Amino acid sequence: MTIQAPVAAPEQATCLVCGGPGEHEGRFGDTFYRVTEAEVDLYRCRRCRSDFVWPLPSRAEINDFYPSGYWQEQTGESSLMARAQQVYIQAMLKADLMGWIARLNLAPGAKLIDLGCSRGDWLALIAAAGYQVEGLESDPRAVAFARYTFGLKVSQGDVDDWSPDREGFDAVCLFHLLEHVRSPRGLLTKIHGALKPGGSILLRVPNRHSWQGRLFGKHWKGLEIPRHLCLFEPKALLRLLEEVGFTLDRWSTWSLRDGPPAASSSLFRQGEPTWRLINRRGGGLPVLLYLALTWAAAPWEALAALCGAGSMTTIHARKG
């Protein structure tokens, strides 16, 4: 499927972050998972340097971009290696994401929602830490997995249709979601209204301006066009949060869980867990090679993050 739309002139392409004009970068398709023939036009904003798809695909077209297995809702293998890989994934969740949760300084029993919670692995860890949690996820397969595997309160729905109670949450998390939505500013404004005074927003997005993004170009795992509709320049995203009404607490481009794997996935996609599920491939040597590449990439990614050029941008901000 190809989205039939003429290439828009630069003055017609409007940045999803700042509203500035875009410069056409080219026509991009799904070079990583290759589950759709769709191609879209990618632009770079002349004002804030964020990248965005224009014109935006419809909701129906977007739904076709996500195959079964994308959320790893299928457990797939039951081999010793597969189980060991799941233990590794859980360890990374605890070492990376739960570290960010600790920095929120939430009171016991605080109410938190994870938007785009996928199959609920991280949400289950947050619940085990003593917080009231709920999730929102658009894919029914991932929702079913979260409910029946972890017993989580997860609603099925699109964030565009999310209608939260005003000032109902102490924290809102969205990891690897904001780049998928059609109106980042609209969603952040909605989140601001849903948070209690002083409440926290915690988000993570890929950083195309990273060393990885520059090195791998259109083959970088974090690009993931056409599923990613907007790739934020980090400082532009910080400004957007401030404009919506948030006050920055901390941000970083280092992620132990997501940074090194983005490099190994770009080098050797046959070992990447989601790619293997989508393509129904087993484990064995590809998994070992993938893990070896991931650890080999860690020092380089750590150096990039020290220079402010890590592959993932994580931000914690508070409602002003």
Any domain includes 237: yes
72: confidence class by pLDDT, cuts 50, 70, 90: low
Mean pLDDT (the chain, rounded): 91
Residue 70 has pLDDT above 80, yes or no: no
Any domain includes 4: no
Any domain includes 2: no
CB 135 within 8 A of CB 120: yes
Q: Global pTM?
A: 0.91
Task: Print the domain residue range for 43.
Answer: 10-319
Tens digit of pLDDT for each residue in 103-151? 999 999 999 999 999 999 999 999 999 999 999 999 898 999 999 999 9
pLDDT (0 to 100) of residue 91: 85
pLDDT (0 to 100) of residue 293: 96
Any domain includes 1: no
Unique residue bearing structure tokens 């914690």 = 316
Residue 8 has pLDDT above 60, yes or no: no
Tens digit of pLDDT for each residue in 136-193? 999 898 999 999 999 999 999 999 999 999 999 999 999 999 999 999 999 999 999 9
Unique residue bearing structure tokens 């039951």 = 78
Classify residue 107 by burial, with Cβ atoms within 10 Å: 0-12, 13-18, 19+.
exposed
Separation CA 5–CA 215 (nearest Å):
30
Query: Among candidates 166, 156, 159, which has minimal Cα distance to 187?
Result: 159
187: Cβ–Cβ under 8 A, 6 or more apart, which residues? 115, 159, 160, 174, 178, 181
Separation CA 85–CA 99 (nearest Å):
21
CB 239 within 8 A of CB 264: no
Residue 130: alpha-carbon gap to chain centroid? 25
pLDDT (0 to 100) of residue 10: 45
Percent of the chain clearing pLDDT 90 (strictly above): 75
Any domain includes 210: yes
If one counts every other C-beta atom within 10 angstroms of the C-beta of residue 159, the result is 21
pLDDT (0 to 100) of residue 69: 64
Q: In this structure, is the dihedral angle defined by the CA atoms of residues 96, 97, 100 and 105, taken in order, positive or negative?
A: negative
Any domain includes 3: no
> What's 41's domain CATH number?
3.40.50.150
How many domains is the chain built from? 1
DSSP string covering 181-248: -S-HHHHHHHHHHHEEEEEEEEEEEE-TTSHHHHHHGGG-TTT-TTT--EE--HHHHHHHHHHHTEEE
If one counts every other C-beta atom within 10 angstroms of the C-beta of residue 285, the result is 11
Classify residue 279 by burial, with Cβ atoms within 10 Å: 0-12, 13-18, 19+.
middle
Any domain includes 5: no
Of 72-76, 239-243, 267-271, the one with minimum mean pLDDT is 72-76
Tens digit of pLDDT for each residue in 254-280? 999 999 999 999 999 998 888 888 887
